[in-house]
Amino acid sequence: MTLRFGKNKSFFRSFLTFLFTTLLIIKFESCCFYSFTGASVPPHLKSIAIPVADDRSGSAESGLREMLTQKLIQKFIDDNSLQIVDRVNANSILETVIVSYNDAPAIVTAGENITSRRITIGIKASYRDLVKKNVVFDKVFTNYANYPSSGSLSEKNKAIEEIIEKTSEDILLETVSGW
């Protein structure tokens, strides 16, 4: 009987070692290896149309809608996940509207001196899948940048460019990885 118990004990130890090793491997894989589900454009979407943005903000900033449109087009070209085409040949479309533009004091020091101004721009973006005929997202992206209150026109334009850059990046990321 002792001999038999020794064989079972050896089998039991081997089984526990195997079980422990298997569980350790599973635990390691679940911690270290994961996938980004929903992080890429669906395979049926190969192209995108980006018409010139509309400006309903009431701002007097000339060239704002063109700047936004060009920045978005360049972002999608650089990203290379969707080919830029005209509306007729597109699988998807990204329409943008500048819905708000605000240039207001940002930092006021003692004595009511304005030392910095903040420009805030809101852009509504609507991305539609033309193949499946559904709206993927329809949301407003808002960003801001500060510039010195005594700053020149070029400093103000630099702040606007910074906002357009950030917002274009946000829209690109929402478009290609928001699935």
Q: Which of 19-23, 122-126, 146-150, 153-157 shows the lowest mean pLDDT across its residues?
A: 19-23
Q: What percent of the chain has pLDDT over 70?
A: 75
The verdict on 10 and 78 lying in the same domain is no
Asked whether residue 107 is domain-assigned, the answer is: yes
User: pTM higher than 0.85 for the full model?
Assistant: no
The verdict on 19 and 88 lying in the same domain is no
* CA 83/CA 179 separation, integer angstroms: 18
Two tokens, residue 22:
């298997």
Domain of 166 in residue numbering reads as 47-177
